Structure 1
Amino acid sequence: MENPVPIDLDTWPRRQHFEHYRQAVPCTYSMTVELDVTAFARALARSARKTYVAQVWALATVVNRHEEFRMCLTGDGAPAVWPAVHPAFTVFNAQRETFACVWTAYDRDFGSFHDAAAALLAEHGRAVDFFPQGPPPPNAFDVSSLPWASFTGFTLDIRDGWGHLAPIFTLGRYVERDDRVLLPLAVQVHHAAADGFHTARLVNELQALLADPAWVG
């Protein structure tokens, strides 16, 4: 695993914003959107690929494009950026009504990522440990899925989580409206890492990726 690269505070445009939302007014914010996944859902219906794995790969792809969503803190509390981050995602054990958290390395090639992630879901579908692979690496970000319900708002409250700069994503159940298929997505962001502009750009890029799903194969 590569080490995070410290940010040059003397040239960083967001230095004052980082310091304000890290020290003076620590805060996170959440944004819930409905993504149009009509083309994405149709492509997966014609494919043997798994929908959840494809959703996780799409999220990891847009997250890895932007430094603000790959941020962490060094040992002395200074901001740094991971060269790459990897998704940690939930797998539900229906018999126990509990979930486990697994992770796999991000791969730009969807096919390679899909095979690795699908194997993990199959292997740990009945896991009894919260982290069956052991704790996720420090350069992981979290994805959860709630396929049992659609939602228009979702917020996480993380006690003493002011050092957690990685984004957190929650996926909901598809809903059909006006001949479209919509996917609820909640994004939890630390304001020290990213502003509304950055989160809106992330969401818009994710929408574009899902609207042109030739990569599904």
Structure 2
Amino acid sequence: MKEININEWARKEQYHFFKDFMDPIMGATSNIECTQLFLSSKEKNESFFIHYMHKALMAINKISEFKLRIVNDKVVQYPVINGTTTVFKENKTFAFCYFQYHENFKDFYQETEKALLIAKNSKQLEDKPIMDLIHVSVIPWRSFTCIKHPRTEGNTDSIPKIVFGKVFKNANNYYMPVSVEAHHALVDGYHVCDFFNQFEKLMTKP
């Protein structure tokens, strides 16, 4: 990772303006058109989650603002952002699952599939104190228009959070609600929309 020189940073004013807010988290929700990837993953009998998670991390890693974190009152940028997600268990609790981003989809699919299985059978929550990732949750039982996350005390919780909802059909197309929350000292609405647009474009490439 590399440290950002805040005094020479284009976001210097925005960073100082938002960083000490009691609640500096901004967010938005958008319905992402996912017809092609949704249908092709079902036809192949493959995990739609792993397919779209790979596309999400691909989009995240193309946007430098989503690779920024606040660590010990410094702004740092990680070279690669990996993933973590909640995994629903048979007893209706959940575990955390961690997996590496690989540009090669076959490698990503195999590793993530194994990680999901391990997490599903785990008896521990295993919350790891690492920053080079995106916090992901999945709510497959219902579509939604907004969502709110619990936050740790203080204003330095700078890991973006993404929630994927239940796929729904409208006319001949399928859509999935996606919520993004991020620290406003690091990320603006423009960058969130950039993620939505890039992610949706990638969803047309199964």
TM superposition score normalised by structure 1: 0.89
2:2 aligns with: 5
2:77 aligns with: 81
Matched, 1:139 2:132: yes
Runs of at least 4 residues of structure 1 off by over 6 A? none
- State the AA in 2 paired with 1:100: A
Of 7, 14, 21 in structure 2, the residue corresponding to residue 17 of structure 1 is: 14
2:193 aligns with: 200
User: How far did 1:26 drift?
Assistant: 4.9
Aligned-pair identity in percent equals 20
Q: Is the 1:150–1:173 contact (alpha carbons within 8 Å) kept by the matching residues of 2?
A: yes
User: How far did 1:74 drift?
Assistant: 3.3
| Cα separation, partners in 2 of 1:46 and 1:79, compared to 1, 3 Å | same
2:117 aligns with: 122
- State the AA in 2 paired with 1:92: F
- State the AA in 1 paired with 2:117: A
Q: Is the 1:103–1:136 contact (alpha carbons within 8 Å) kept by the matching residues of 2?
A: no
Q: Is the 2:28–2:181 contact (alpha carbons within 8 Å) kept by the matching residues of 1?
A: yes
Alignment deviations for residues 142-187 of structure 1 (CA, whole Å, 9 cap, x no partner): 1110111111111224242511212100011111111111101111
Identify unmatched segments of 5+ residues in structure 2.
none
- State the AA in 1 paired with 2:94: F
Matched, 1:49 2:42: no
> Greater shift after overlay, 152-161 or 43-52?
152-161
Q: Is the 1:172–1:183 contact (alpha carbons within 8 Å) kept by the matching residues of 2?
A: yes
- State the AA in 1 paired with 2:182: V
Aligned length: 206
Q: Is the 2:165–2:176 contact (alpha carbons within 8 Å) kept by the matching residues of 1?
A: yes
Matched, 1:98 2:93: yes
TM superposition score normalised by structure 2: 0.93
Identify unmatched segments of 5+ residues in structure 1.
none
User: How far did 1:44 drift?
Assistant: 0.7
Of 108, 116, 119 in structure 1, the residue corresponding to residue 103 of structure 2 is: 108
2:171 aligns with: 178
User: How far did 1:47 drift?
Assistant: 1.7
Q: Secondary structure at 2:162's aligned position in 1? A: strand
